[in-house]
A and B are shown apart, each in its own frame.
Chain A
C-alpha cells in the first residue's frame, strides 16, 4: 500500500504553494470505491497528467476537483482555500470535456463569451477578450459560426478557448483528444502544450494513452482501480516504476524469473541464471535473500551477445521464436526457457535483421541498463 510519504519522494518539488491540493480524497458510488484516499499537490504552472486504464477513477477525480461531485472523505484546496463545500460555479476552473460540450444554440463567440458574461464583464472588454482567445487557438474570424459548422479539431479549440478565456486557476482536460484521428491528435498535443506553456496555466490532463502522457507532462500520476500508484516526472515513471502495475502499464516490459541474492538499504542484488544485476531495494522491502522475484527489463535494454569472440559477459541463452518486422526495427521474441514464463521481447535495428537470425536459432542475451527493477514474485 502506498502512503503519503511514498508518493512525495521521487521528484524534488519546488517548495511553492500548490494550486490544487487533495488530502486523502475518497469517493464512493454505492458500495464501489471509485477513488481511494487520493493525495495530490499540483504546483503553479505545472502540467500534471492523470494516467490510467479506463474506469480507474480519472474522471471521478477531475469531477471532484471541478465540484461536480461531492467527496465522501478528504479535503480539496484550490489556491490554498478549502473548496470542498464550494459549488462548481464558484471554483473558477476551466474544463474541456471529451465531447467538447459546446453550447449548440450559441455561436462560437458566444460560447467563449459565456464565462465572461457570467462575471458581469463589459461588452467591449468581452469582445476584446473573445477575439484574443480566438487568436490564441488560431480561429480568428470563426466567431459567428455555430459549433456544428466546425470540424472536430476546431470544436476542440473553441472548447479550449472557452475554458481559458476566464483565466481559470486551473485547467482541467478530460481525454480531450480521444475523439480525434491520429494526425490531428499529434498536432493538437503540440499546440496545447505550447499554449499551456505560453500562458503558464496550471493544468490537469486526463488520458489513458501513455504516449500522450509521457510526451506532454511535467509530472504524471498513474492510477489504477481508484488509487494513485505513483506520481513522478515521465522519465522517472518510465525508469523507476514504484510498483508492478506502473512497470507493466507504462511501456513494454519483459518479466524474468529471478532470485534475491543480497539486499541492503538502497540496492538489492538479483540473479537470473548466471546473471547478477542491481535493482532498487524499496519495492522488495520485507523480502529476505533467496526469495523469488520478478525482474522487469524493457525491450530496448535487452541486447544480443555476440556468440563468437567478444568478452564472455554473463548472459542467458534462448531460442528465437518469432520475428516481427516493424519498419524501423525488428521485434524479436526469444524463448528463455526456465528464466521467463513468456518469450521475451528484444528490439533490434532493422539493418541487422531479419538476415542475422532464423527462427529456432540459439541466441544469448543480457540486460544493459541501470534502470532495472524487480518486484516480489506474483503468481500467474
Chain B
C-alpha cells in the first residue's frame, strides 16, 4: 500500500525511546575518554588512561573471571534447561505441562534480589544445605559455599534457567514430531534420533538461549555482590564500586564499555562457532 496511515504516531515515540538509549550509551562513550578528577563528579579533559587502566591485573583478571563465570553459568544452564524444555514441549498431560511451565518460569519474575536472598539461605553456613548435611552426619564443620565461585554459579544458573527454558522450548515446539518418527521408523535408536534429528533442529534455540544466558550473567549484579561478598569480583560489581565508592565515573564508563563490546563479540562468536554444530544432522 502506498499509504502508511499513522506511521508517525507509531514510530516517533519508539524513536524517542531509542534516542534516550542511544544518548545514554553516547554518554558512557564520552565519559570513558575523560580524565577522572578525584573528589569531584565533574570530569577533566580527553585521555585514554581509562582504557590503559583496564590492563592492570586486578581489572584484567576480573574481566577474564567474569567471562569464565558467564561461560560456566551458560553451559550449566543449558544442560539443566534442555531436559526441562524437552519435557515441557513433549509432555502430554495439560496439567503437568502447566506445572512445569509455572515452576520453571516463575523465578524469571521474582527479580534478582529475592532469588539471591533465597540462595543465601540455601548456601549459608547455617543454611539449608549445611544443616541437612550436618544432621545426616556427613559433615561436622559447615562447608563454605557463600563467597565462593561455585556458590555464585549455582545462584546464577538459577537466575538464567527460566529464560533458557523459554528459548529452548520455543525452538523445540516448532520441530515437527514427524521428523523424529521418521528417523525412528528408519531404524534410528532413540539416542541416535535425538542426536541426529532433534538436537540439530533445536540448535537455533540453543544458540539464542546460550547467548542470552551469557548476557544475563554478565549483567547480574546482586548475585555476585551478595553471594560473592567481595571475594568474587565481576565487571558489574567493579563498575558499581568505581561509581559509588570512589566516584570514578570515567573509569566505570570505560569498564562498562569494554564489557559491552565483549558481550557483543562473544555473542557474535558464539553464533559463528555453533554453525558447524547445526550441520551435525547432515552426516
Direct touch of chains A and B (CB < 8 A): yes
Tell me which residues across on chain B come within 8 A of A69, comparing CB atoms: 1
Q: Is residue A80 within 8 Å, beta carbon to beta carbon, of the partner chain?
A: no
Q: Is residue B106 within 8 Å, beta carbon to beta carbon, of the partner chain?
A: no
Tell me which residues across on chain A come within 8 A of B52, comparing CB atoms: none
Tell me which residues across on chain A come within 8 A of B3, comparing CB atoms: 87
- The interface on chain A, measured as residues whose beta carbon lies within 8 A of the other chain's beta carbons, has a size of 4
Tell me which residues across on chain A come within 8 A of B1, comparing CB atoms: 68-70
Measured CB to CB, the nearest residue on chain B to A69 is B1
Q: How far is the CA of A70 from the CA of B2 in the complex (A)?
A: 7
In chain B, positions 1-39 with a C-beta closer than 8 Å to chain A are 1-3
Smallest beta-carbon distance B2→chain A, Å:
5
- The interface on chain B, measured as residues whose beta carbon lies within 8 A of the other chain's beta carbons, has a size of 3
Tell me which residues across on chain A come within 8 A of B2, comparing CB atoms: 70
- Kindly supply a per-residue 1/0 record for chain A positions 69-105, scoring 1 wherever the CB is within 8 Å of any chain B CB and 0 otherwise: 1100000000000000001000000000000000000
Q: How far is the CA of A70 from the CA of B3 in the complex (A)?
A: 10
Smallest beta-carbon distance B85→chain A, Å:
32
Smallest beta-carbon distance A43→chain B, Å:
29
Smallest beta-carbon distance B199→chain A, Å:
36
- Kindly supply a per-residue 1/0 record for chain B positions 63-75, scoring 1 wherever the CB is within 8 Å of any chain A CB and 0 otherwise: 0000000000000
Smallest beta-carbon distance B183→chain A, Å:
32
Q: How far is the CA of A334 from the CA of B2 in the complex (A)?
A: 57
Tell me which residues across on chain B come within 8 A of A68, comparing CB atoms: 1
Tell me which residues across on chain B come within 8 A of A70, comparing CB atoms: 1-2
Measured CB to CB, the nearest residue on chain A to B5 is A87
Q: How far is the CA of A87 from the CA of B1 in the complex (A)?
A: 9
Q: How far is the CA of A87 from the CA of B2 in the complex (A)?
A: 9
- Kindly supply a per-residue 1/0 record for chain B positions 248-260, scoring 1 wherever the CB is within 8 Å of any chain A CB and 0 otherwise: 0000000000000
Smallest beta-carbon distance B231→chain A, Å:
58
Measured CB to CB, the nearest residue on chain B to A70 is B2
In chain A, positions 107-157 with a C-beta closer than 8 Å to chain B are none
Q: How far is the CA of A70 from the CA of B1 in the complex (A)?
A: 6
Q: How far is the CA of A69 from the CA of B1 in the complex (A)?
A: 6
Measured CB to CB, the nearest residue on chain B to A87 is B3
In chain B, positions 175-221 with a C-beta closer than 8 Å to chain A are none
Smallest beta-carbon distance B148→chain A, Å:
56
Smallest beta-carbon distance A41→chain B, Å:
26
Smallest beta-carbon distance A84→chain B, Å:
10
Smallest beta-carbon distance A45→chain B, Å:
31
Measured CB to CB, the nearest residue on chain A to B3 is A87
Measured CB to CB, the nearest residue on chain A to B2 is A70
- Kindly supply a per-residue 1/0 record for chain A positions 58-76, scoring 1 wherever the CB is within 8 Å of any chain B CB and 0 otherwise: 0000000000111000000
Q: How far is the CA of A87 from the CA of B5 in the complex (A)?
A: 11
Q: How far is the CA of A233 from the CA of B3 in the complex (A)?
A: 38
Tell me which residues across on chain B come within 8 A of A87, comparing CB atoms: 3
Q: How far is the CA of A68 from the CA of B3 in the complex (A)?
A: 11
Measured CB to CB, the nearest residue on chain B to A85 is B2
Smallest beta-carbon distance A73→chain B, Å:
14
Smallest beta-carbon distance A260→chain B, Å:
50
Q: How far is the CA of A142 from the CA of B99 in the complex (A)?
A: 41
Q: How far is the CA of A165 from the CA of B1 in the complex (A)?
A: 26
Q: How far is the CA of A108 from the CA of B18 in the complex (A)?
A: 43
Q: How far is the CA of A96 from the CA of B3 in the complex (A)?
A: 23
Q: How far is the CA of A235 from the CA of B3 in the complex (A)?
A: 42
Smallest beta-carbon distance A242→chain B, Å:
35
Smallest beta-carbon distance A65→chain B, Å:
15
Q: How far is the CA of A69 from the CA of B3 in the complex (A)?
A: 10
Q: How far is the CA of A197 from the CA of B1 in the complex (A)?
A: 34
Using a CB–CB distance below 8 Å, which chain A residues touch chain B? 68-70, 87
Sort A-B residue pairs by CB-CB distance and give the 5 closest, nearest first: A70-B2, A87-B3, A70-B1, A68-B1, A69-B1
List, sorted by A's number, 5 A–B pairs whose CB atoms are closer than 8 Å.
A68-B1, A69-B1, A70-B1, A70-B2, A87-B3
